[in-house]
Amino acid sequence: MQPPEVRALLTAAEQARAERAQDRAVQLCMEALQLVGDDERTGRSIRLLRGLALIEMEDFEAGAGELRELLPVLEGREQLEGLIGLGRASMWMELTDEPIALAERSVELAERLDDREMRGPALALLSQAHGQRGQEGDLDRAVQIGDQALEVWVTDTRATDLAAHLSLHALNHYWAGGYARAAELGHQGGDGASGGLALAALGRHEEAMEVFDSSIAQQREADSTVGTAYALNCSTAALRDLLDLPEARRRNGEANELFGGIGFDSGVMQGEIDLLYTDLLDDAVASDLAGGGPGDHQSPLPQAEVTNDLGELPQHAVAGEDGPRQDHGLGLEEIHRRAPVG
């Protein structure tokens, strides 16, 4: 039986995590670990909570290291929590194949345990892992499995996990050209970045900029480096469509600084690609002004190779079922393969 002081610390840590005060949760876990003595089972539970909190505060390597050590000795629901947590961390660490293996183990374990509440989150991780990898057939699988996760999700459970899945699943539908569905999912998940991309693709730029700016403000308030940089990068898609190129450059530059600070090289690389795209668009505008009109020159804009690992497609890269974007010849699978969602 847990000592009262340990139980109180764990309750406070769980509450802090629920309130997204992960740094506080980690500190409380450290204090609880000093009091458990030889109670290995309680110690494992505390370390699991600490590892999950570290991942949620975007210290992916530390959280993943904690969970890797724990997984061989975890059982039941705790093992399932550890698998899903490690899978999420490995996605952001850009390990590509490991998240799929962990997600498949999570789905199998949820079925074996008949854990209805965890089936949705396990399937969500598998969908997200396929969406990240971007090999042939992965996009279709990501959409199908992600939809299945939403179908089996137990109502009024794991709201934070559900919001994260809605956000990332919006990107799957966006990549597939289902812009209206992507906008709906982004709105449901409270994610203006993913939803804004879809709104921009539908030509609803004013609305897109409103949700982009709201998302950036929310992510700053939450002190999320990844979320802020992602929203900044995504917003530049609409800014380029609107030819507000100085602001697009500024936002990509800030996003690169944020991603660089946490060592997320893929985010930096895609920010640089966005900046290159903006430079090319700037040249095209200058050529139009000098030469008379938009029909007087060959567009220098790159085709579908210029994409964003974090979900951003270039202007006019893909003809979606809902929107006006034009197709430059590469199929969706090839576009997705070249720039998997990160």
For every residue of 280-304, which 3-state class applies, written as one string?
HHHHHHHHHHHHCCHHHCCCCCCCC
Please tell me the predicted confidence (pLDDT) of residue 208: 96
Distance between CA atoms of 18 and 27, rounded to whole angstroms? 15
Q: Is the pLDDT of residue 210 over 50?
A: yes
pLDDT for the residue 170: 96
The mean predicted confidence, pLDDT, of the chain is: 85
Identify the residue with better confidence: 314 or 98: 98
Nearest residue to 284 (alpha-carbon basis) of 273, 300, 295: 300
**Which pLDDT score, from 0 to 100, does residue 1 have?**
65
Residue 303's pLDDT is 34
Q: Per-residue confidence at 192, pLDDT binned at 50, 70, 90?
A: confident
As a whole-number percent, the residues of the chain with pLDDT over 90 amount to 70
CA 216 to CA 228: how far, in whole Å? 5
| pLDDT in the model for residue 322 | 58
Closest by alpha carbon to 152, among 182, 125, 121, 127? 121
Q: Has this prediction a pTM greater than 0.75?
A: yes
Map out the domains of the chain as residue ranges: 180-342
User: Confidence class of residue 268 from pLDDT cuts 50, 70 and 90?
Assistant: very high
CA distance 43 to 35: 9
